[in-house]
Amino acid sequence: MNTDLDTDTASAQAIFQSYGGMEGLAETFALPAQPLPAGWRAFFFRIYPGLLVAATIALAATWLSQQYRSPVMLFALLFGMTFHFLHEEGRCVAGIEFSSKAVLRVGVALLGARITATQILELGGMPIATVVGGILSTIALGAFAAQRLGLSRSFGVLSGGAVGICGASAALAIASVLPRTNESERDTILTVVTVTVLSTIAMIAYPLFVTLVGLDHVHAGIFLGGTIHDVAQVVGAGYSISPQTGDVATYVKLLRVTMLLPVVFSIAFVVGRRGKGGQGSTKAKLPLFLVGFAGLVALNSLGVLPKFASDAANEVSRWCLVTAIAALGMKTSFKDLAAVGWRPIALMVLETAWIAAVTFVAVKFAY
């Protein structure tokens, strides 16, 4: 069945041929066929159109984020979704798939370059226990409440991990090891959109809250770093109170990012054990991007990684994640998101309220 795109293409070719006839050219004129390159060159020529589109969207989203001081992930998602038609067919499909998977994994692996063991150990035992307890209980709550709301357990784990660990980055990493279903891409996009919006609201509301309840700079930093979803929002909220609060909040947030490694590996292990058909399996594959993440943390902790290399890795990681989220946006339509209803959003609001309550109780009464 012909589509409107086919009709427009045929019309354009007919017009071009008529112009060629007017210039004295044969209507059957065609450029000689060029042999396709082999190997990695063939792979590059197959993916570069979609990769270029995703990178361009990432560039535009970054510029707007800097101009209007808004979450870059949200801009990249929304822009990507407006170009959903590029993923339906054509030359961009392969590059969009590559960006949403391979580029994503590179970005997650490079997150390890911002973390050192010293930063984590300097926090002491109680903040570590608070963060670990908050993350694990939030993921458990997500898995439990999702089924009560008629949602899949996978979505509960995905949303709980995103809320508990580091927002959009955690959602992308966890989604890469969860079982693939027809709703996987939609669930990932919905999680990223919702967690980004909730993180922005928290960045505005939580500093007012910690001031109202009278937390000092250190305790306020622990609360902000242990509850706000995205790293950028944690930094914004913490330093809006004081430099000390900002420093503590950043370190606590990096501790949460560190938990990405054991959480994603545990999920990958469980998924590998269950297998596609729910049968037990004796093998669980370790995702290579988690190996890269752990390796960079180790190198950075040992002081082997120079500062310029760490800064470069952080910048490349940011670009990779924004490009990946733009590609995921192109794989999702507004219609699909609108069809999910209110339950996923209610679940993520519940998870956000839960981790805030757990962290506040720990900060207020356990320190």
What are the pLDDT digits (tens) for 257-271?
Answer: 888 888 988 888 888
> Is the pLDDT assigned to residue 74 strictly greater than 70?
yes
* Residue 179 is assigned to a structural domain of this protein: yes
Distance CA 275, CA 162 (A): 24
Sequence-distant (6+) residues with CB within 8 A of 50 are 86, 91, 92, 93, 94, 95, 96, 97, 98, 99, 327
239 vs 278, more confident: 239
Tokens of 252: 């606590």
Taking the C-alpha atoms of residue 210 and residue 217, their distance in angstroms, rounded to an integer, is: 9
Widest distance between CA atoms in the chain: 88
Residue at 224 is within a domain:
yes
Collapsed DSSP state (helix, strand, coil) of residue 166: coil
Closest CA to 152 of 175, 168, 134: 175
Give me the domain span that covers residue 203: 39-365
Q: Is residue 32 assigned to a domain?
A: no
Residue 15 has pLDDT above 50, yes or no: no
Judged by average pLDDT, the poorest of 10-19, 147-156, 219-228, 237-246 is 10-19
User: Is residue 148 in a domain?
Assistant: yes
C-alpha 52/C-alpha 320 separation (Å) is 12
Q: Is residue 348 part of a domain?
A: yes
In a domain, 346, yes or no: yes
Q: Among residues 206, 178, 162, 193, which one has the least CA distance to residue 71?
A: 193
φ, ψ (nearest 5 deg) of residue 221: -65, -40
Whether 105 is in a domain gets the answer yes
341 occurs within a structural domain: yes
Q: What is the pLDDT of residue 367?
A: 65
Higher pLDDT, 157 or 286: 157
Number of structural domains in the chain: 1
Q: Which range among 147-156, 198-207, 228-237 shows the weakest confidence by mean pLDDT?
A: 228-237
Identify the pLDDT of residue 357.
94
pLDDT in tens, 190-220: 888 888 778 878 878 898 899 898 888 889 9
pLDDT digits (tens, 9 = 90+) for 272-291: 777 654 444 434 455 677 78
The alpha carbon of 150 is separated from its chain's Cα centroid by a whole number of angstroms, namely 24
| C-alpha separations of 63 from 58, 125, 227 in Å | 9, 40, 28
pLDDT band at 3 (very low <50, low <70, confident <90, very high): very low
Helix (H, G, I), strand (E, B) or coil at 97: helix
Q: What is the mean pLDDT of residues 38-65?
A: 89
342 pLDDT above the threshold of 80: yes
Task: Give the lowest-confidence range in 62-71, 109-118, 134-143, 164-173.
Answer: 109-118
Beta-strand runs (E) in the chain: none
Nearest 5°: the CA angle 114, 236, 212 is 130
